[in-house]
Amino acid sequence: MVTFLHVSCQRKPVPQGQEKDLTTVLGYSWIPLCRNGKLTCGEFSLPVLLEPPPRHYSYISPDVQLPGTRWLDNHKPVLLVTLHPLSTVHPLDSSIERFAIACEAIQEGNIPSRIGLTNMEAELRASIAELPTANVHTLARYSSVLLDKLVALLVTSPALAGAPLNIAQDAFTCLAQLFTDITNMNEGATCDAHNRSSILSTYIQYQCQIPRPALTDQDVGLPLPPTVLVDGSCKVLHEELALQWVVASGATRDLAMHNSWAFFELMIKSMVEYLAWSGARAAARKARFPDHYTDDVTTLVNNVTAEIIAKYVVIE
């Protein structure tokens, strides 16, 4: 809120008790802090309202002229304002904000009317695909939040009107692209001698929050109850990563191979946590992980080995 005042300058002394207020209110203007869930920023030309705005009117842009209000100079813009907000909460990047708004809308079941229920799945997929186009430094700053959300989308299928969405491959592709972008940031200045980004290493080892199926005390121990494995509420991360990696093709496969160290580290972390929460640690070594997962890991090891040998031959 901005209040416009006219200040009078009196040169002659005034007897005590006859002083007049030197300021006269001319009008008011304002800028809503948030619009459509986004922090307001940029350049604005504001008109001036001649009386205090009605209650809750400040939620509406002053560009809107409601009936019964009086404006200076017939509602013409008279004040130029530029906002450059500094925030550790709002990313101030349209691609990240679009992704966050889409995820929040589906999670809370509050679909924006401008999108509509029928277009919400396409909007979510588009926001995931657009996420890597965000500023890489902003991506790195919010990497733990963004990567956690992509991991959650990978293993917990969101639902629209009760129907689950199969977006695991979209989330996996986006993860691979973000791993590449963050690794290449500042020409690899955050990487070690093996081209492993310290930002990603820190995230995987200390920040990553891996979703897990809800287990009761009776569920712990192998084999896990069928209701835990097939209810679809939450998949096991290392199994889903291996599956999506094996079936990946084209650019997604190349990106995953380029960031194989990060995906393997994430799988190992998930495996360690799985041994703890599932009770598999007490089982025989060969029975701790299901056969379909060990088959996928075998395929991955063969693929990665063949890729390394092929590149070595080319270099030679």
Domains of the chain: which residue ranges?
A: 2-83, 94-315
Distance CA 294, CA 27 (A): 72
The DSSP bridge partners found for residue 43 are: 82
> Is pLDDT of 258 > 70?
yes
**Three-state DSSP class for residue 28:** strand
DSSP alpha helices (H): ranges in 25-142?
94-108, 117-130, 136-141
Strand partners, 35: 38
pLDDT digits (tens, 9 = 90+) for 22-32: 777 888 888 88
What percentage of the chain has pLDDT greater than the value 70? Answer: 88
- Enumerate the H helices of 18-167 as residue ranges: 94-108, 117-130, 136-141, 143-155
C-alpha dist (Å) from residue 62 to 30, 37, 69, 85, 118: 7, 18, 11, 20, 33
Higher pLDDT, residue 111 or 59: 111
Task: Please give the DSSP secondary-structure letter assigned to residue 223.
Answer: S
* Residue ranges with strand state E in the chain: 2-7, 23-29, 34-35, 38-39, 42-46, 79-83, 159-160, 163-164
Read off the pLDDT band of 10 (50, 70, 90): low
- 82, β-bridge pairs: 43
Q: Which two tokens stand for residue 35?
A: 């619009």
What is the 3-state composition of the chain as percent helix, strand, coil, each rounded to the nearest 5? 50, 10, 35
Q: 66-105 pLDDT, tens per residue?
A: 777 888 888 888 888 888 877 777 788 889 999 998 999 9
Please tell me whether residue 93 adopts helix, strand or coil conformation: coil
Radius of gyration of the chain (CA): 28
- pTM for the complete prediction? 0.78
Average the pLDDT over 110-123 and give the result: 88
Helix/strand/coil for 6: strand
Do 243 and 301 form a contact (C-beta atoms < 8 A)? Answer: no
- Strand 2-7 relative to strand 38-39: parallel, antiparallel, unpaired? unpaired
Average pLDDT, the chain: 85
pLDDT of residue 80: 87
Q: Higher pLDDT residue, 261 or 311?
A: 261
Q: Among the listed ranges 131-140, 181-190, 223-232, 259-268, which one has the minimum average pLDDT value?
A: 223-232
pLDDT for the residue 46: 87
Q: At which residue do the structure tokens 């989308």 appear?
A: 153
Task: Evaluate if residue 218 carries a pLDDT over 70.
Answer: no
3-state DSSP assignment of residue 261: helix
Q: Which two tokens stand for residue 198?
A: 């310290």
CA distance linking residue 274 with residue 235, whole number of Å: 11
